[in-house]
Every structure is written in C-alpha cells, then in structure tokens.
Amino acid sequence: MEEKWKGKLEKIDNYRWRIPKDYKEGMRVPGIIYAHKKMLDDIVSDQAPEQVANVAFLPGIVRNSLAMPDIHWGYGFPIGGVAATDVRSGVISPGGIGFDINCGVRLLRTDLIAEDIKPRMADIVEALFNNIPTGVGKGGKLKVDHKELSSVILKGARWAVEHGYGTKEDLELTEAGGAMEGANPDEVSEKAIKRSRDQLGTLGSGNHFLEVQVVEEVYYPEAADIFGIFPGGITVMIHTGSRGFGHQITTDFLDILGRVSKKYDINLPDRQLACAPVDSPEGRSYFGAMAAGANFAWANRQCITHWIREVFEQVFKQSSSSLGIRQVYDVAHNIAKIEKHKINGRELTVCVHRKGATRAFAPGHPEIPAKHRETGQAVIIPGDMGRYSFLAVGTEKAMEETFGSACHGAGRRLSRSKAKKIAKGKNLRQEMKDYGVIVRATGWDTIAEEMPEAYKNVEDVVDSTTGAGITRLVAKMRPLGVIKG
C-alpha cells in the first residue's frame, strides 16, 4: 500500500499550495502544486509531492518546481510535473519528459450532430476498432524501413501528409507544425528503430484511446466559433504517443545520463532524475533523440487522423470534407521544449519540461496558429471514458506563472492493479453502456484499468486550473463511443 505523503504544504490561495524551499536541504526553488482544496487528499495519497520537492534540486531550475492538479506518482518527475531550467547552466532530464515521448491529444470537429450519429454509433465504434490497430505491441498497416524512418523522424506529421495521410491545414493546427527542430536519427538506437518499424498509425494500450464525443456545453462562444465547436456537435479525440519507439529512447538515455552525473558533479535525491547539462554532448544527444520520438508521435497521430476520416466516409457515404471533419488542434504532453520566458523581469531561454502537462500559451503568442491567436492556444484535457473531456485556452497568467503550461487530463487516483481488483465481478461494458457509452477494447483488463473510478474527476481538475487563472474553459464534451487497447 502506498504511504501517504506527510510533508510540509503551505496554502497560497484556494488553488495553489507551496512546498517551501526549506522543506529539504538542497532545494533550489519552492514547489507549487495547483489544486482545489478538495483534491488534496488524493494528491497526498502517494509520494508525488515528494517528487515535486526532488525536482527542485535540478541544477539551473528557475522560478518553481510545478505540479498540475492531475498530479500523481511518476518516474523521477511526478506526472503533472513542470520545470524549466536555464539552458546555460541547467540540465535536461528524461524523467521530466517520460517514457511515452509526446504522448499527446488531437481533437477533430465535425458538422455532425448527436442525432446524426447515435443510430450509427455501434457501427462507427466497430469500424474504428477494426481500422486502427490497438493493444500492446500491436503492429499497424504501415511498415517503414530504416531510410524511411529517418524521414519520419525529421519531418514528423509532415511525412504523413506528404504520403497522403492528411492535409496542410492539419499541420498548421498542430503544435510545432507537427515536427520539432533538432531531431537527430543518428542518436536513436537500433533497438528503438526495430521497435518502431510497424507502429506508425497504431493506438497502443493503457490510457491511450480514441473517443467519439458530443459537445455538451460551451462556455466561451467566441473561441468555440473559431475552433468550430458548437453545442450538440460531434467531436473525435485521439490520445496516443510514440509507442515503443519513444519508450526505448527513454530507456536508452536513462542509462546513459545515469552514468554521467559524477562527470558534471550533479547530486540529486533520486537517481530517477538522471540528467545532463542541456548544453553538453550527452544533453544534446538526448534532446536530438527525444525530438525524434516526438516527431514519430506526431506522424502516428496524423496517420490515425486519416483513418478516422476514412471510417466516417465509409459509414456516412460522404467525403470527410462534406462532413466537416477538420482538426481543432494537436498538443503534446511528455516533451521538453526550448522556449523564451520572462524570469524576474528579463527574458531567459529555458528548457521547459512538461510531463503529463500541456502547453497553454496566451493570446497573441507567435507560436499559436494564426487563426487561434486572438483566443490563446487550445488546451485539450481528456477525462475518463465515463465522464467528460474539456477544451480550454491558455492565458497570460499561465505565461507568468507556469511557463505557459496547464493540466493534461484527469490524472489517475488508483493504480492499474488496484483498479482491476475493484473491478472484479463488474460488468464494465454494461455499466459503460448504461452511461451512454459504447466501449470496444482488446480485453477486460484494459477496461478495468481505465474505468472512471480509477481517475480523478476531471471537472475538479479543470476547476483548479481555471480557478487559478492558467486556463479559460471553452467547451465540455461527453463520450459516446470509445476504443481502447
């Protein structure tokens, strides 16, 4: 049983809690956790706040070690953790990005309404499940050789669009245009390459999903209009990442960086925070490999997007364009980005680690797609398969406090093993059907691990980020059909 955290937590206001810098000798900055008070019992139920304090030891960390309200225990960093390090004196840590590099979310909108889709939901879910490979280690329709994989690594989602899997507008509405600069195929191991060759266009397992939703409520009509979202409208959400490719990259570099701490005189309270200076041979190597993993993930979601469009065309006997299937946005979780932020009144170039956190840039930021610039960047916050997901936008306060970052989802409250134990004897498919959700998965275990009770209530999570002022809500979506691995 996980021991409850008993550390020091000071209230700043109703949505922010501080772990003071003097909590542990060696902390360079305080820790700040964003959460409504009613979420604290779940947050301190494991040692994730201790990980927030441990991250504060990283060389070059600036401002605060941060955690979003979906915080829970992770490898090194907590999931929901955010930290920025000065690129001149700071480090990059794979534990601050995670094993599933660029696990992210893409949201599609349609012209369809609930009445159009409900009679066909069972057919749509079955067709999606049959056309998009899901499950542990599951291979896909695409096979890429070493040379072609190098192109995927460098071009990301653009590779997919060039091969007929999507549109130019998809790229314009994807973070970083669907490809990070600095990706280096030479930094990727042969083992990672072997794991990737048949995984493009695959959903994977665990918390990855594809969900057909209905927009239940709109809170910010002006932004919703720009995004193409309307009450009663149908949306589709994709949540997946870099699959075994990203996992192997992280495994490889945790070993490499774990051996260089002494070389750079880095002392940390947790070896899972293995790191190297951003501007060092090892740091540059990891960044190049991490960017390769991120680009693979964007190509992966782009291919899945194409097959979703094909499924809707088959079911409705119309073109995807006539059905109004267009991308709202695609945002990365589990990534490190080199960005400029104001720290103590001056602009500083920092390496922002977002692990189980999403970018949330304010209106007017030049990296936001031009058509979204007046609203702020779209922030996509999936919930669980029985409740809601949300669309929000970033704010100026997020730029000031969290390096333009916000939550990435509901956040687990039960381990997978505990969820399965609680689910024993339950007819989960029937329970989901009673909620009004059709679920298709490779097995009972996946549904049990991902049942609604395993997650925090996403409404509490978004209440915390909007209450703190780091996001502004746009819309709430309710699931109608889900496929999982």
Sign (positive or negative) of CA dihedral 434, 216, 380, 56: negative
DSSP 189: -
Nearest to 200 by CA among 266, 255, 156: 156
* Domain at 10-484: CATH code: 3.90.1860.10
Residue 33 to residues 182, 328, 468, Cα–Cα distance (Å): 31, 29, 11
Residue 139: pLDDT band with limits 50, 70, 90 = low
Mean pLDDT of the residues in the chain:
94
pLDDT of residue 448: 83
Which token pair is 73? Answer: 């225990």
Give the chain's radius of gyration (CA, Å).
21
Is pLDDT at 37 greater than 70 in this prediction? yes
Distance CA 178, CA 171 (A): 6
Residue 191 to residues 6, 149, 195, Cα–Cα distance (Å): 41, 13, 6
pLDDT of residue 364: 97
pLDDT of residue 11: 97
Distance CA 307, CA 238 (A): 12
pLDDT of residue 196: 86
Answer whether 53's CB lies under 8 Å from 77's CB. Answer: no
Is pLDDT at 425 greater than 80 in this prediction? no
Answer whether 429's CB lies under 8 Å from 394's CB. Answer: no
pLDDT of residue 419: 83
Catalytic residue among 163, 333, 372, 408: 408
Residue 454 to residues 35, 315, 444, 448, 451, Cα–Cα distance (Å): 18, 33, 15, 9, 6
pLDDT of residue 88: 96
pLDDT of residue 450: 80
DSSP 77: S
Q: Per-domain residue ranges for the chain?
A: 10-484
Could you read off the pLDDT of 144-181 as tens digits, one per residue?
A: 888 899 999 999 999 999 999 999 999 999 999 999 99
Q: Which residue has the higher pLDDT, 205 or 326?
A: 326
Q: By 3-state DSSP, what share of the chain in percent is helix, strand and coil, each rounded to 5? A: 35, 25, 35
Would you call 364 helix, strand, or coil by DSSP? coil
Answer whether 107's CB lies under 8 Å from 326's CB. Answer: no
Distance CA 162, CA 288 (A): 23
Could you read off the pLDDT of 62-114 as tens digits, one per residue?
A: 999 999 999 999 999 999 999 999 999 999 999 999 999 999 999 999 999 99
Could you read off the pLDDT of 284-293 as tens digits, one per residue?
A: 999 999 999 9
- Ranking 94-103, 332-341, 355-364, 450-459 by mean pLDDT, the lowest is 450-459
Q: Is 408 a catalytic residue?
A: yes
Mean pLDDT of 329-340: 97
pLDDT of residue 389: 96
Residue 1: pLDDT band with limits 50, 70, 90 = very low
Is pLDDT at 436 greater than 90 in this prediction? no
